[in-house]
Amino acid sequence: DIQLTQSPSFLSASVGDRVTITCRASQGISSYLAWYQQKPGKAPKVLIYAASTLQSGVPSRFSGSGSGTEFTLTISSLQPEEFATYYCQQHHSYPLTFGGGTKVEIK
Amino acid sequence: QLQLQESGPGLVKPSETLSLTCSVSGGSISRSSYYWGWIRQPPGKGLEWIGGIYYGGSTYYNPSLKSRVTISVDTSKNQFSLKLNSVTAADTAVYYCARLGDTLTGYYYGDYWGQGTLVTVSS
Protein backbone atom coordinates (compact mmCIF):
# COMPACT_ATOMS: atom_id res chain seq x y z
CA ASP A 1 0.00 0.00 0.00
CA ILE A 2 1.12 3.56 -0.63
CA GLN A 3 1.41 5.51 2.62
CA LEU A 4 0.73 9.24 2.64
CA THR A 5 2.22 11.38 5.40
CA GLN A 6 0.83 14.85 5.90
CA SER A 7 2.55 17.65 7.76
CA PRO A 8 1.85 19.39 9.92
CA SER A 9 -0.97 17.54 11.68
CA PHE A 10 -2.18 20.80 13.22
CA LEU A 11 -1.74 24.33 12.06
CA SER A 12 -2.78 27.58 13.73
CA ALA A 13 -3.30 30.46 11.37
CA SER A 14 -5.04 33.80 11.05
CA VAL A 15 -7.43 35.06 8.43
CA GLY A 16 -5.40 36.29 5.50
CA ASP A 17 -2.43 34.04 6.17
CA ARG A 18 -0.76 32.00 3.46
CA VAL A 19 -1.01 28.34 4.45
CA THR A 20 0.98 25.43 3.07
CA ILE A 21 0.34 21.76 3.79
CA THR A 22 2.66 18.98 2.65
CA CYS A 23 1.84 15.40 1.67
CA ARG A 24 4.60 12.85 1.15
CA ALA A 25 4.04 9.51 -0.55
CA SER A 26 5.94 6.35 0.38
CA GLN A 27 6.59 5.71 -3.31
CA GLY A 28 6.24 7.66 -6.52
CA ILE A 29 2.68 8.38 -7.58
CA SER A 30 3.37 10.68 -10.53
CA SER A 31 0.71 13.41 -10.26
CA TYR A 32 -2.12 11.19 -9.00
CA LEU A 33 -2.94 13.14 -5.88
CA ALA A 34 -6.12 14.85 -4.72
CA TRP A 35 -6.76 17.28 -1.88
CA TYR A 36 -9.97 17.54 0.16
CA GLN A 37 -11.41 19.94 2.71
CA GLN A 38 -13.63 18.54 5.44
CA LYS A 39 -15.66 20.53 7.93
CA PRO A 40 -17.11 18.97 11.10
CA GLY A 41 -20.12 16.78 10.38
CA LYS A 42 -19.75 17.14 6.62
CA ALA A 43 -18.47 14.99 3.80
CA PRO A 44 -15.08 15.82 2.31
CA LYS A 45 -15.08 18.24 -0.61
CA VAL A 46 -12.50 17.84 -3.33
CA LEU A 47 -10.37 20.91 -3.96
CA ILE A 48 -7.68 19.66 -6.31
CA TYR A 49 -7.02 16.50 -8.31
CA ALA A 50 -4.12 15.36 -10.44
CA ALA A 51 -1.88 17.28 -8.02
CA SER A 52 -2.57 20.72 -9.43
CA THR A 53 -5.93 20.79 -11.24
CA LEU A 54 -8.49 22.92 -9.46
CA GLN A 55 -11.88 21.26 -9.14
CA SER A 56 -14.67 23.26 -10.76
CA GLY A 57 -16.10 25.87 -8.40
CA VAL A 58 -13.14 25.92 -6.01
CA PRO A 59 -11.67 29.39 -5.35
CA SER A 60 -8.40 30.15 -7.08
CA ARG A 61 -6.69 30.93 -3.76
CA PHE A 62 -6.32 27.15 -3.49
CA SER A 63 -3.43 25.67 -5.44
CA GLY A 64 -1.60 22.39 -5.54
CA SER A 65 1.83 21.41 -6.73
CA GLY A 66 4.25 18.53 -6.77
CA SER A 67 4.84 15.19 -8.40
CA GLY A 68 6.47 11.92 -7.54
CA THR A 69 6.55 11.74 -3.75
CA GLU A 70 6.17 15.30 -2.48
CA PHE A 71 3.12 17.50 -2.84
CA THR A 72 1.83 20.74 -1.39
CA LEU A 73 -1.52 22.40 -0.97
CA THR A 74 -1.39 26.17 -0.62
CA ILE A 75 -4.12 28.56 0.42
CA SER A 76 -2.92 32.00 -0.59
CA SER A 77 -5.10 33.98 1.81
CA LEU A 78 -6.99 31.95 4.41
CA GLN A 79 -10.67 32.83 4.75
CA PRO A 80 -12.86 32.28 7.85
CA GLU A 81 -14.80 29.47 6.19
CA GLU A 82 -11.58 27.56 5.45
CA PHE A 83 -10.79 26.57 9.01
CA ALA A 84 -11.22 22.85 8.51
CA THR A 85 -9.32 19.60 8.16
CA TYR A 86 -7.50 18.90 4.90
CA TYR A 87 -6.68 15.47 3.51
CA CYS A 88 -4.60 14.25 0.61
CA GLN A 89 -5.48 11.07 -1.30
CA GLN A 90 -3.45 9.18 -3.85
CA HIS A 91 -5.24 7.91 -6.93
CA HIS A 92 -2.26 6.21 -8.50
CA SER A 93 -3.06 2.66 -7.47
CA TYR A 94 -5.27 0.46 -5.34
CA PRO A 95 -5.85 0.53 -2.48
CA LEU A 96 -6.70 4.21 -2.62
CA THR A 97 -5.20 5.78 0.48
CA PHE A 98 -5.55 9.03 2.39
CA GLY A 99 -3.17 11.07 4.44
CA GLY A 100 -3.79 11.45 8.15
CA GLY A 101 -5.16 14.98 7.82
CA THR A 102 -4.13 18.51 8.73
CA LYS A 103 -6.42 20.48 11.01
CA VAL A 104 -6.26 24.20 10.36
CA GLU A 105 -7.33 26.12 13.44
CA ILE A 106 -7.84 29.77 14.22
CA LYS A 107 -4.85 31.40 15.90
CA GLN B 1 -26.68 17.90 -10.13
CA LEU B 2 -25.63 14.45 -9.05
CA GLN B 3 -26.71 13.55 -5.52
CA LEU B 4 -25.89 10.51 -3.41
CA GLN B 5 -27.71 9.39 -0.27
CA GLU B 6 -26.74 6.59 2.09
CA SER B 7 -29.37 4.55 3.90
CA GLY B 8 -29.34 1.66 6.32
CA PRO B 9 -29.40 0.75 10.01
CA GLY B 10 -27.54 3.03 12.37
CA LEU B 11 -26.94 0.28 14.90
CA VAL B 12 -25.52 -3.17 14.18
CA LYS B 13 -24.72 -5.89 16.70
CA PRO B 14 -21.22 -7.36 16.91
CA SER B 15 -20.63 -10.34 14.60
CA GLU B 16 -23.57 -9.32 12.39
CA THR B 17 -23.57 -7.82 8.90
CA LEU B 18 -23.57 -4.10 8.19
CA SER B 19 -25.65 -3.30 5.11
CA LEU B 20 -25.86 0.11 3.49
CA THR B 21 -27.32 1.35 0.23
CA CYS B 22 -26.36 4.42 -1.75
CA SER B 23 -29.12 5.92 -3.90
CA VAL B 24 -27.94 8.05 -6.80
CA SER B 25 -30.10 10.80 -8.29
CA GLY B 26 -29.50 13.40 -10.94
CA GLY B 27 -27.59 11.00 -13.13
CA SER B 28 -27.45 7.41 -14.19
CA ILE B 29 -25.23 4.93 -12.40
CA SER B 30 -25.24 2.96 -15.64
CA ARG B 31 -22.75 5.20 -17.41
CA SER B 32 -20.05 2.69 -17.98
CA SER B 33 -17.06 4.86 -17.31
CA TYR B 34 -17.78 5.75 -13.69
CA TYR B 35 -16.48 4.14 -10.52
CA TRP B 36 -18.60 4.15 -7.35
CA GLY B 37 -17.34 3.42 -3.89
CA TRP B 38 -17.46 3.55 -0.12
CA ILE B 39 -15.23 5.36 2.36
CA ARG B 40 -15.51 5.34 6.13
CA GLN B 41 -14.34 7.56 8.95
CA PRO B 42 -14.23 6.38 12.58
CA PRO B 43 -15.25 9.12 15.03
CA GLY B 44 -12.48 11.68 15.35
CA LYS B 45 -10.21 9.85 12.91
CA GLY B 46 -9.19 9.93 9.27
CA LEU B 47 -10.64 8.55 6.06
CA GLU B 48 -10.37 4.93 4.91
CA TRP B 49 -11.27 3.69 1.44
CA ILE B 50 -13.36 0.51 1.71
CA GLY B 51 -13.74 -0.38 -1.94
CA GLY B 52 -15.68 0.30 -5.09
CA ILE B 53 -17.38 -1.04 -8.16
CA TYR B 54 -17.51 -0.26 -11.83
CA TYR B 55 -20.76 -0.41 -13.76
CA GLY B 56 -19.63 -3.60 -15.41
CA GLY B 57 -19.38 -5.22 -11.98
CA SER B 58 -15.64 -5.21 -11.43
CA THR B 59 -14.82 -4.58 -7.81
CA TYR B 60 -11.74 -3.48 -5.89
CA TYR B 61 -11.55 -3.77 -2.13
CA ASN B 62 -9.19 -2.56 0.52
CA PRO B 63 -7.02 -5.59 1.37
CA SER B 64 -7.51 -4.85 5.07
CA LEU B 65 -11.26 -5.47 4.67
CA LYS B 66 -11.42 -7.66 1.59
CA SER B 67 -12.40 -10.87 3.37
CA ARG B 68 -15.48 -9.19 4.88
CA VAL B 69 -16.67 -6.79 2.18
CA THR B 70 -19.05 -7.09 -0.74
CA ILE B 71 -20.05 -4.17 -2.95
CA SER B 72 -22.74 -4.58 -5.56
CA VAL B 73 -24.71 -2.42 -7.97
CA ASP B 74 -28.40 -2.41 -8.90
CA THR B 75 -28.76 -0.40 -12.08
CA SER B 76 -32.55 -0.83 -12.14
CA LYS B 77 -32.77 1.15 -8.89
CA ASN B 78 -29.79 3.42 -9.60
CA GLN B 79 -28.19 2.20 -6.38
CA PHE B 80 -25.08 0.49 -5.14
CA SER B 81 -24.64 -1.30 -1.85
CA LEU B 82 -22.12 -2.25 0.81
CA LYS B 83 -22.12 -5.33 2.98
CA LEU B 84 -19.54 -5.75 5.73
CA ASN B 85 -19.83 -8.94 7.71
CA SER B 86 -18.58 -10.04 11.13
CA VAL B 87 -18.49 -6.47 12.40
CA THR B 88 -16.82 -5.39 15.62
CA ALA B 89 -16.67 -2.12 17.53
CA ALA B 90 -13.73 -1.15 15.32
CA ASP B 91 -16.16 -0.88 12.40
CA THR B 92 -18.05 1.95 14.10
CA ALA B 93 -17.72 4.88 11.72
CA VAL B 94 -19.43 7.35 9.46
CA TYR B 95 -19.84 5.59 6.13
CA TYR B 96 -19.81 7.66 2.95
CA CYS B 97 -20.70 6.65 -0.56
CA ALA B 98 -19.09 8.57 -3.38
CA ARG B 99 -18.47 8.72 -7.08
CA LEU B 100 -14.81 7.87 -7.01
CA GLY B 101 -13.60 8.19 -10.53
CA ASP B 102 -13.94 8.01 -14.25
CA THR B 103 -12.13 5.47 -16.36
CA LEU B 104 -12.17 7.91 -19.27
CA THR B 105 -9.88 10.28 -17.36
CA GLY B 106 -8.05 7.69 -15.29
CA TYR B 107 -8.51 9.84 -12.19
CA TYR B 108 -9.96 8.18 -9.10
CA TYR B 109 -10.99 10.72 -6.51
CA GLY B 110 -14.31 11.59 -4.88
CA ASP B 111 -16.05 14.37 -6.75
CA TYR B 112 -19.55 13.62 -5.44
CA TRP B 113 -20.25 12.36 -1.92
CA GLY B 114 -23.24 11.39 0.15
CA GLN B 115 -23.76 13.17 3.45
CA GLY B 116 -22.56 10.13 5.38
CA THR B 117 -24.32 7.87 7.84
CA LEU B 118 -23.07 6.90 11.28
CA VAL B 119 -23.10 3.18 11.94
CA THR B 120 -22.47 2.09 15.50
CA VAL B 121 -21.54 -1.49 16.31
CA SER B 122 -22.80 -2.33 19.76
CA SER B 123 -24.87 -4.94 21.52
Burial class (CB in 10 A: 0-12, 13-18, 19+), B85: middle
Cβ of B110 and A98 within 8 Å? no
How large is the average pLDDT for residues B66-81? 94
Model confidence pLDDT, tens digit, residues A72-106: 999 999 999 999 999 999 999 999 999 999 999 98
How large is the average pLDDT for residues B116-121? 98
Model confidence pLDDT, tens digit, residues B16-54: 999 999 999 999 888 768 999 999 999 999 999 999 998
- Are the C-beta atoms of B72 and B80 separated by less than 8 Å? yes
Cβ of A44 and B108 within 8 Å? no
Residue B56 has pLDDT above 90, yes or no: no
- Are the C-beta atoms of B108 and B35 separated by less than 8 Å? yes
Residue B59 has a CB neighbour count (10 Å cut-off) of: 15
Residue B89 has pLDDT above 90, yes or no: yes
Kindly give the pairing relationship between strand B11-12 and strand B117-121: parallel
B86 contacts chain A (CB < 8 A): no
- Are the C-beta atoms of B112 and A46 separated by less than 8 Å? no
Model confidence pLDDT, tens digit, residues A15-65: 999 999 999 999 999 999 999 999 999 999 999 999 999 999 999 999 999
- Are the C-beta atoms of A38 and A44 separated by less than 8 Å? yes
pLDDT tier at B55 (50, 70, 90 boundaries)? Answer: confident
**B55: alpha, beta or left? (left if phi > 0; alpha if psi -120 to 50):** alpha
A44 contacts chain B (CB < 8 A): yes
Q: How far apart are CA A50 and CA B106, in angstroms?
A: 10
Is B90 in a helix, a strand, or coil?
helix
pLDDT tier at B103 (50, 70, 90 boundaries)? Answer: confident
Confidence at residue B65, expressed as pLDDT on a 0 to 100 scale:
96
Confidence at residue A107, expressed as pLDDT on a 0 to 100 scale:
86
- Determine what percent of chain A falls in helix, strand and coil, rounding each to the nearest 5: 5, 50, 50
Q: How far apart are CA B86 and CA B111, in angstroms?
A: 30
B112 contacts chain A (CB < 8 A): no
Is B43 in a helix, a strand, or coil?
coil
Confidence at residue A58, expressed as pLDDT on a 0 to 100 scale:
97
Compute the nearest-CA separation of B46 from chain A (Å): 6
Residue B105 has pLDDT above 90, yes or no: no
Residue B88 has pLDDT above 80, yes or no: yes
Residue A13 has pLDDT above 80, yes or no: yes
Confidence at residue A89, expressed as pLDDT on a 0 to 100 scale:
98
Residues forming a β-bridge with A87: A36
Confidence at residue B106, expressed as pLDDT on a 0 to 100 scale:
85
Q: What is the percent of chain B where pLDDT is above 90?
A: 83
With CA atoms as reference, the chain B residue closest to A46 would be B111
Nearest to B113 among A1, A32, A43 (CB): A43
